[in-house]
């Protein structure tokens, strides 16, 4: 019986998790305030939703090894998005439309309808005539145990589209109808396709919501579409767009034509490790995004998934970020305010002059936040360098090149494992101040600059004694109006 098979596979996975998690939980690279699985491999966030008063996070999950394989949907719930309770996997590959050995239940969304929690996901299979991707539905009344819809799949690739590239449904409700956007590929160009339904089970094609003309790749993974203060935002994770792997488009959308036209094309993150962002809205009206803090092997800057497989886990999410629309239609991404509750001890210094002698910013902490404001009007340094997670041998460098208006995150000397550097433009929206908010966890650094307009995220697989954070100036002095630090600690 098919329904039985999913139950059996979930029970088996849960037994495996229970018997293997204790060793993985001891891993010294485990994050302290970022979401991650108990044991095994995790990639994309799937179906973040507030349901019956709790935040539910689902995720692409292989509990059995610290590598990608046949995907389950992992599941965890929280009251505050800081403390998490892990639940049994919500979905397991079990049907002939979602049981591909190197595939399974791919990414998707969650939506509540008439009190029920629905998961809309991509099933993957191959019956000997090629890799197929189809859209499927599962539902639950208790938010824990899910049943797959008997009529699955509910949607297959339209005529003329690659069946192996039709995935990651993003679903929402508008005026009593349901809408779905899927990533697709036609003639080797990426498209986001829009569908409409009155019941979540029967879908009609509406239009090509948006497409790449070559500039934005050949396939968009995990399209995410939402309204924000009267405008519309499409988040895409493009394959084939070079280093640009997390793009946002802002513009207007017409429900009558199903067409989205964008006026802004920006990067959701400019670092190494941020992919497949998924958004959701909560009862406070906040639009938040969660992303997978890693990369795929086809990305230009990918080296590997890091050494944490030695601790029997791989994958965490970036900080949960609230999305704000700026006056110029660009977006800013702010760490959600809940993180302020885990700040413990702090230090604050004002009006500091920094020279070429490294100034020690913080006490030695594995998890901390550093806020700084550089006074651009009285700093004549050519560069200001924040050297993070350092010891005598290693350090991750954030280089603010004030002369050439560039920001570089250099991880070549970060940990003896990671490699590469990323560059992005320093926009200097504010000519007087350059603000920074830096979040350091056990294995990651996330830098928010220029009032959260620009973000750079990177994993760092540091040794236990890489605890030093310093700042120094090159070719002049740098005046800091403010330098604030907090220790971050997740209590019970
Ligand atoms: C994006 C992605 C999705 C897919 C999933 C598979 O990271 O490749 O397109 O659904 O991961 O795990």
Q: Is 107 in the pocket of ligand 1 (CB under 6 A)?
A: yes
pLDDT, tens only, 32-81: 999 999 999 999 999 999 999 999 999 999 999 999 999 999 999 999 99
pTM of the predicted structure, to 2 decimals: 0.97
**Ligand 1, residues 167, 236, 245, 278: which to mutate, most atoms within 8 A of Cβ?**
167
Helix (H) or strand (E) run with residue 11 in it: helix 2-25
Q: Residue 44 catalytic?
A: yes
Asked if pLDDT for residue 279 goes beyond 80, the answer is yes
Q: How many C-beta atoms lie closer than 10 Å to residue 304's C-beta? A: 12
Q: Is 369 in the pocket of ligand 1 (CB under 6 A)?
A: no
Centroid of ligand 1 to alpha carbon of 236 (angstroms)? 12
Tell me, what's the pLDDT at 2? 63
Q: Is 71 in the pocket of ligand 1 (CB under 6 A)?
A: yes
The closest-lying atom of ligand 1 relative to the alpha carbon of residue 60 is 12
The two tokens of residue 415 are 């940990």
Q: How confident is the model at residue 266 (pLDDT cuts 50, 70, 90)?
A: very high
Centroid of ligand 1 to alpha carbon of 294 (angstroms)? 12
Asked if pLDDT for residue 363 goes beyond 80, the answer is no
- CA–CA separation, 356 and 375 (whole Å): 17
Q: Is 122 in the pocket of ligand 1 (CB under 6 A)?
A: yes
Centroid of ligand 1 to alpha carbon of 475 (angstroms)? 45
Q: How many C-beta atoms lie closer than 10 Å to residue 230's C-beta? A: 7
Give the position of tokens 């599941």. 75
Centroid of ligand 1 to alpha carbon of 448 (angstroms)? 26
- CA–CA separation, 52 and 49 (whole Å): 10
Centroid of ligand 1 to alpha carbon of 70 (angstroms)? 11
Percent pLDDT > 90 in the chain is 97
Q: How confident is the model at residue 429 (pLDDT cuts 50, 70, 90)?
A: confident
Q: How many C-beta atoms lie closer than 10 Å to residue 72's C-beta? A: 27
Q: Cis ω on the peptide bond leading into residue 28 (within 30° of 0)?
A: no
Centroid of ligand 1 to alpha carbon of 43 (angstroms)? 8
Nearest CA to ligand 1 atom 9: 221
pLDDT, tens only, 170-229: 999 999 999 999 999 999 999 999 999 999 999 999 999 999 999 999 999 999 999 999
**Ligand 1, residues 106, 136, 299: which to mutate, most atoms within 8 A of Cβ?**
106
Looking at every residue in the chain, the average pLDDT score rounds to: 97
Nearest partner of 439 among 366, 347, 359, 364, judged by Cα: 366
Q: Is 46 in the pocket of ligand 1 (CB under 6 A)?
A: no
Q: How confident is the model at residue 27 (pLDDT cuts 50, 70, 90)?
A: very high
Asked if pLDDT for residue 1 goes beyond 90, the answer is no
Kindly give, in sequence order, each residue whose CB lies less than 8 Å from that of residue 249, ignoring residues fewer than 6 positions away: 210, 233, 234, 235, 236, 260, 262, 264, 265
Mean pLDDT value across residues 341-345: 94
The two tokens of residue 202 are 């029967």
In terms of residues, how long is the chain?
A: 492
Q: Of the listed 44, 269, 441, 451, which one is catalytic?
A: 44
Q: Is 44 in the pocket of ligand 1 (CB under 6 A)?
A: yes
Q: Is 466 in the pocket of ligand 1 (CB under 6 A)?
A: no
């Amino acid at each position: 019986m098919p329904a039985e098979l999913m139950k059996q596979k979930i029970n088996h996975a849960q037994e495996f998790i229970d018997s293997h998690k204790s060793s993985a939980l001891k891993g010294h690279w485990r994050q302290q305030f970022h979401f991650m699985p108990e044991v095994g491999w995790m990639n994309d966030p799937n179906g973040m939703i507030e349901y019956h008063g709790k935040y539910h996070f689902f995720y692409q999950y292989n509990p059995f090894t610290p590598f990608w394989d046949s995907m389950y949907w992992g599941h965890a719930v929280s009251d505050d998005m800081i403390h998490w309770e892990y639940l049994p996997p919500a979905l397991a590959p079990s049907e002939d439309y979602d049981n591909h050995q190197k595939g399974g239940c791919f990414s998707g969304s969650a939506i509540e309808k008439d009190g029920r929690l629905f998961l809309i996901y991509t099933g993957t299979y191959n019956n000997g005539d090629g890799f197929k991707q189809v859209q499927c539905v599962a539902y639950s009344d208790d938010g824990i145990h899910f049943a797959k819809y008997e009529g699955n799949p509910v949607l297959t690739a339209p005529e003329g589209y690659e069946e192996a590239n039709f995935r990651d449904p993003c679903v929402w409700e508008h005026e009593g109808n349901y809408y779905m956007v899927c990533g697709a590929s036609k003639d080797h160009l990426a498209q986001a396709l829009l569908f409409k339904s009155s019941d979540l089970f029967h879908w009609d094609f509406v239009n090509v919501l948006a497409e790449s003309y070559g500039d934005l790749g050949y396939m968009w993974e995990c399209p995410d579409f939402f309204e924000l203060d009267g405008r519309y935002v499409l988040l895409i994770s493009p394959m084939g767009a070079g280093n640009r792997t997390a793009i946002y488009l802002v513009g207007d959308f017409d429900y009558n034509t199903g067409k989205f036209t964008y006026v802004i094309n920006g990067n959701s993150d400019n670092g190494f490790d941020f992919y497949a962002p998924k958004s959701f809205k909560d009862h406070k009206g906040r639009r938040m995004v969660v992303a997978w803090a890693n990369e795929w092997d086809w990305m230009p800057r990918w080296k590997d998934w890091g050494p944490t497989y030695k601790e029997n886990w791989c994958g965490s999410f970036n900080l949960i970020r609230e999305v704000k629309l700026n006056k110029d239609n660009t977006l800013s991404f702010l760490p959600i305010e809940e993180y302020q509750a885990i700040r413990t001890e702090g230090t604050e210094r004002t009006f500091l002059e920094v020279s070429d002698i490294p100034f020690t910013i913080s006490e030695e902490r594995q998890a901390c936040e550093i806020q700084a404001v550089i006074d651009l009007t009285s700093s004549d340094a050519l560069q200001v360098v924040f050297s993070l997670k350092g010891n005598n041998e290693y350090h991750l460098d954030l280089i603010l090149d004030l002369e050439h208006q560039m920001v570089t995150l250099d991880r070549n000397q970060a940990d003896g494992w990671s490699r590469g550097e990323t560059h992005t433009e320093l926009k200097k929206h504010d000519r007087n101040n350059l603000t920074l908010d830096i979040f350091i966890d056990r294995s990651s650094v996330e830098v928010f600059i220029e009032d959260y307009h620009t973000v750079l995220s990177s994993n760092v697989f540091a040794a236990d004694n890489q605890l030093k954070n310093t700042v120094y100036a090159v070719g002049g002095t740098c005046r800091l109006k403010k330098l604030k630090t907090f220790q971050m600690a997740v209590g019970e």
